[in-house]
Structure 1
Amino acid sequence: MTVTYVIEGSRVTGPESFWTVIGEAVNGPGGYFGRNLDAFADCLGGGMGTPDDDDYVIEWRDHALSARALGHEETARYLDRLAGRAHESNRGRLREESAQAALGLGPTLFDRLVEIIRERTGPDTLRLL
């Protein structure tokens, strides 16, 4: 039986709310399913609430609202925060990515989340509605 996890895109107003929404979708109220891109990717790898047989679908409703909330402006802020606490060897790259995002260029947080889901679970797991 296929399990469906629903991301209510209208509840996603930034990265922090995304982590809350996906955590609750997979593991119930107060559930955890990553609090950054790397942890999210690790959670999709299994053992954090998704079925072991990989028989599940992630249905992202109102994804266009999430795409706007996790667009270039929010991506620039997110990357700035990361750069502030990153190892000095990564700061330059993060600041350059942030500058590009501030210009409306490059992948957004939404793009990165979609990419991570598709890479970790396969192309048919994510349904953008």
Structure 2
Amino acid sequence: MTVRYVLDGSQVRTLEDFWRVAGESIGCGGYVGRNLDAFADCLRGGFGTPDDGDLVIEWRDQEVSRERLGHPETARQLKMRLAHCHPTNKARMAARLAA
């Protein structure tokens, strides 16, 4: 059995928006976590998504969200992490941001 979920990429402006839209669209009780490991767990099944069968995600307006999730959003995310990371990770996060 194939289950199809539709993700509206026009609603994705930030990474936080992506996690919200994915949770609303895909299921997992309306939440898919806020990192790729949690997202992968959700897609594997058993967290509101089907345990068996195929899962298809139709990402509409993906070019819009691809543009919005580009370099500026990545830099914004790294700045937020730099501001809140453990002092021993500051140099590594600053280097990632500079790159």
Letter in 1 for 2:93: L
Question: What corresponds to 2:39 in structure 1?
Answer: 40
Number of aligned residue pairs: 99
Larger Rg: 2
Cα offset, 1:54, TM superposition:
5.0
Question: What corresponds to 2:5 in structure 1?
Answer: 5
- Counterpart-to-counterpart distance in 1, 2:77 and 2:16: 10
Structure 1 unmatched runs, 5+? 101-129
TM-score of the superposed pair, with normalisation by structure 1: 0.66
Higher RCO, Cα 8 Å, sep 6+: 2
Structure 2 unmatched runs, 5+? none
Q: Is the contact made by 2:7 and 2:26 (CA closer than 8 Å) also made in structure 1?
A: no
State the percentage of identical aligned residues.
Answer: 56
Q: Is the contact made by 2:45 and 2:52 (CA closer than 8 Å) also made in structure 1?
A: no
Q: Is the contact made by 2:4 and 2:58 (CA closer than 8 Å) also made in structure 1?
A: yes
Question: What corresponds to 2:98 in structure 1?
Answer: 99
Q: CA RMSD in A?
A: 2.1
Q: Whose helix fraction is larger, Structure 1's or Structure 2's?
A: 2
- Counterpart-to-counterpart distance in 1, 2:21 and 2:72: 21
